[in-house]
Amino acid sequence: MGTTLVLGGARSGKTAVAEQIAARTAKQLQASVTYVATAQRSDAEMAERIARHRTLRPASWTTVEEPLHVADWLAKAPPGVVLVDCLSLLLNNWMFLESASDAQLSARIDELTAALRAFRGEVVIVSNEVGHGIVPADALSRRYRDWLGWFNQAVAAASAQVYFVVAGIAVDVRKWQAQW
């Protein structure tokens, strides 16, 4: 079994691609899909986004809201197909809901990658790629950007497949990497 990481920018289509991968994998394995949502209802707009996302998913999928402890949840989850959306918000929650130190962030990332490697099913993970823009002007934004980059690298290293989504088109990063 394995992990698939789906990266992309804002509104790149990464969640739609991840959902297609999860649905196809579940059909092949004759398994159910559990959607692990890391978003928090922080305001009315975010609550509306969450509601809209829910309506777009198949009714047969189970949704679990887990804003902080995805590694712990995976360790207890039964085999199947899990879609985690998304690492970007998970990191945000660690940094801003828990005020995690750099050492705590590093430990959390290690815990999650270990849980991914140990999971007895398929995991599809969504994350933003924020490293293509300019260097942020403030230290807090730079810290977030840096940690998300390291987080994405760690999860990519633990993943059998990595896709980068641009304009709704998924590019297989491992195939591209093999050409070099």
Q: What rounded mean pLDDT belongs to the chain? A: 93
Q: What is the pLDDT of residues 108-152, one digit of tens each?
A: 999 999 999 999 999 999 999 998 888 889 999 999 999 999 999
Residue positions annotated with a catalytic role: 53
What is residue 42's predicted lDDT score, i.e. its pLDDT? Answer: 77
Question: Which amino acid makes up residue 40?
Answer: Q
Q: State how far the Cα of 164 lies from the Cα of 127, in Å rounded to an integer.
A: 10
Q: Are 87 and 116 in contact (CB under 8 A)?
A: no
Q: Model's pTM, two decimal places? A: 0.93
Give me the mean pLDDT over the 155-160 stretch.
Answer: 97
**Bridge partners of residue 163, in order along the sequence:** 6, 172
Neighbours of 57 (CB within 10 A): 19
Q: State how far the Cα of 35 lies from the Cα of 33, in Å rounded to an integer.
A: 6
Give me the mean pLDDT over the 85-102 stretch.
Answer: 96
Tokens of 47: 């609550």
CATH number of 3-178: 3.40.50.300
So where are the chain's domains? 3-178
Confidence band of 1 (pLDDT split at 50, 70, 90): low
